[in-house]
Structure 1
């Protein structure tokens, strides 16, 4: 066989053979090489000429030979991407993630947007998906829930052909966005669907399952489905020893604390939060650390330590405000207002709640908006203003019914019923009590019905 090979047919690395030829011609000219000098000893000058004219699709072997002669990488010649571009983009994504953890979400979003544009320009789909996930998390932190959903949905579409564990972070992000918007059942549907698909597909990925089970705890708790939340926590804890990502483990401990609190195990909940906070402190993830302090404030309030609760909640509020995490800041302030009311600072609590209601609305934190109206109802009732109290209770009831927050609904129905009874409207009071009993009888009805499948290894 003649050692001076001609072109391989149909095996080229680039959809457009002319693109490779143009790159070869540009690089050859820049280096002052003739076609003969570039071609020999493996190819002919005529082959290089034909390639540069875009009339032949080069084989992989041809591209590798030409790349070596031109002093570039195979990938750079085959795709036009600068050498080490993917590595540089991945480093940029890590830095953007660090900015989100320690600084303002807007700054991180600007970095993610630049990286997304560059990844799109060079056709790097994995890096595009990571940048979209980052943008989704930035939007969650700033409270822009529609944008968050769009970014997570775009990432999921981009990864449509990837294994389900690779798509799990996008599914989890979408679910959190719907949860924060008060769409609890749909959040559960997304998470349960992904969990069942993972458990029945044989794609055993402890990290993905842990991420999804942990994310399911919050909507279960808000829906009053405490048994399901406890089951999800149990399954997540069983998976934890197989997971090496400390951030995933910290998220588990923070979420499990909610189930422990609901069971009255405050000491264990506090210990779980301490473990999570220690990891977040080491990782310097300020938003999640603030969430731990937020929950510790709630633990103190449950124990009757209102002074300690106020200290923790103010610290959490200040940390979130410094990161301009507006939605989370407003949610913490609802909890803070409750503590202020219980400490006899009704005027401060009332002023704070009225300001917050301009930031919380049905599509942005409906459960906490309902909580704010509930607290205002209590304050007005304690101050002898039953008509204003009733107005706030009814508004809270509408918000919580829309979200499907069964446990909170039963409580607001009781408060409204008691108020109606005291103001001489027993029939209306009975209707409110019946509504509350209905929510107590069927808490946490999720879209799929049965609870998610257990992983075979749990």
Structure 2
């Protein structure tokens, strides 16, 4: 139940409604209370009990909540309905329209003091910003969402925590992203807070940072946990649409509690739709594993599944990351021209601030393709660009491997001293303490 207003505010509201309806204090009080009690209440000198407020609400023809909080009875439910509409808009790929909807809803929720609605709107704005690649705005929205529910149980705050971690990850801050996700997982699992949706979001979110840091075993384990936790919804979009329609009907009939229940189910379905998008990470992980084992046909199939789930329209950054892995498989399958075309398209969506590690991977692969075509000048150019991006992101394992590639290229072209410098740089990154290892793995969920 929403927090009721102070006695003075309630008193003024009762007095205003009484006068609007042409009632005397005696008429409002009868038959249970006295005119003196109403006078004391209207002056703000007494805190009315729930029973008194119910009596007054009935005499004044308003809902109990409206008298206690000043909010129209249907306001919270109406906001919830429009928040599910915004979720639907975002799930359909219309990110800019969804952002406009969420911004308007956030203003309304703040005006009427509805923290749950504020939280949902801020989450939506954060997801919209991730999709458009505005990582600073995304991080700020998620931080505000966390603050809005600062006193709520941890599972309720997980979507905001996960969103903030993803924003740091996409900005190239790998270790901090892993720290956020692992500490939250640890707190959930060790504290017995085994919320499946919360755990699934966190395990799916940590796969990318693990991969980029070279922690492949942990990435594989996180993918298996996420897949085991995945909900079994045949078609969440259809179910959500049904619940939204039912809620509209119930709301029109004044059956607010039942409408609330239907909207809660619709919101859950849209959450599952978002989770299905997160599961693209798991298909990407499987594709990587198949590629490592030389099963390139299955690797390509898994990576294309991941791309389809993400779709370039809905999540350009995520799609670009998967595209780099797919290009590597295509190159290894002898389709280098197709791979190069894919990589050049991808580089339009990536930069040092937006997906730095995958931008570096694209340049690294373009360098290898150029080397295979005996275009050493272009290959060196791509390797140097990749090196610059990786140094900013601190991806030590990838840096060491790239230095080896650059060193080999320089040695083959007769620049021995420059090659030695590249090798030394690579060895320094490979052996730097703490750069390629993580602390203890988080506690495991009960599956």
Please indicate, yes or no, whether the TM-score normalized by the shorter chain is above 0.5. yes
Matched-pair contact (CA < 8 Å) for 2:86–2:98: yes
Cα distance 1:453–1:337, how it changes in 2: closer, same or farther (>3 A)? closer
> Aligned pair 1:121/2:111, yes or no?
yes
Q: Which residue of 1 aligns with 2:57?
A: 67
The alignment partner of 2:311 has SS state of helix
Query: How far apart, CA to CA, are the structure 1 residues paired with 2:439 and 2:282?
Result: 31
> Aligned pair 1:176/2:166, yes or no?
yes
The alpha-carbon deviation at position 449 of structure 1 amounts to 2.2
Out of 278, 285, 303, the residue aligned to residue 295 of structure 2 is: 303
Q: Which runs of 5+ in 1 are unaligned?
A: 1-12, 250-278
Moved more, 103-112 or 182-191: 103-112
Cα distance 1:106–1:366, how it changes in 2: closer, same or farther (>3 A)? same
Residues 325-375 of structure 1 show CA distances to partners (whole Å, capped at 9, x for unaligned) of 433354455456556656777667656655654542111110121022213
Q: Which residue of 2 aligns with 1:25?
A: 15
Residues 249-292 of structure 1 show CA distances to partners (whole Å, capped at 9, x for unaligned) of 9xxxxxxxxxxxxxxxxxxxxxxxxxxxxx99x95989568778
Q: Which residue of 1 aligns with 2:82?
A: 92
Relative to the length of structure 2, the TM-score reads: 0.77
Q: How does 1:153-302 map to 2 (within 5 A)?
A: 153-233=143-223, 235-236=225-226, 240=229, 246=233, 283=273
> Aligned pair 1:414/2:404, yes or no?
yes
Q: Which residue of 1 aligns with 2:136?
A: 146
Cα distance 1:69–1:95, how it changes in 2: closer, same or farther (>3 A)? same
Residues 392-442 of structure 1 show CA distances to partners (whole Å, capped at 9, x for unaligned) of 212212212332334433432221121011011234324433444555567
The alpha-carbon deviation at position 154 of structure 1 amounts to 0.6
Q: Which residue of 2 aligns with 1:366?
A: 356
The alpha-carbon deviation at position 52 of structure 1 amounts to 3.0
Moved more, 217-226 or 331-340: 331-340
Residues 32-64 of structure 1 show CA distances to partners (whole Å, capped at 9, x for unaligned) of 322211111222223323433444443333222
Cα distance 1:414–1:189, how it changes in 2: closer, same or farther (>3 A)? same
Relative to the length of structure 1, the TM-score reads: 0.76
Matched-pair contact (CA < 8 Å) for 2:223–2:285: no
Q: Which runs of 5+ in 2 are unaligned?
A: 237-268
Moved more, 127-136 or 15-24: 15-24
The alpha-carbon deviation at position 152 of structure 1 amounts to 0.8
The alpha-carbon deviation at position 78 of structure 1 amounts to 0.6
Moved more, 118-127 or 331-340: 331-340
Query: How far apart, CA to CA, are the structure 2 residues paired with 1:90 and 1:75?
Result: 16
The alignment partner of 1:203 has SS state of coil
The alignment partner of 1:454 has SS state of coil
Query: How far apart, CA to CA, are the structure 2 residues paired with 1:229 and 1:304?
Result: 20
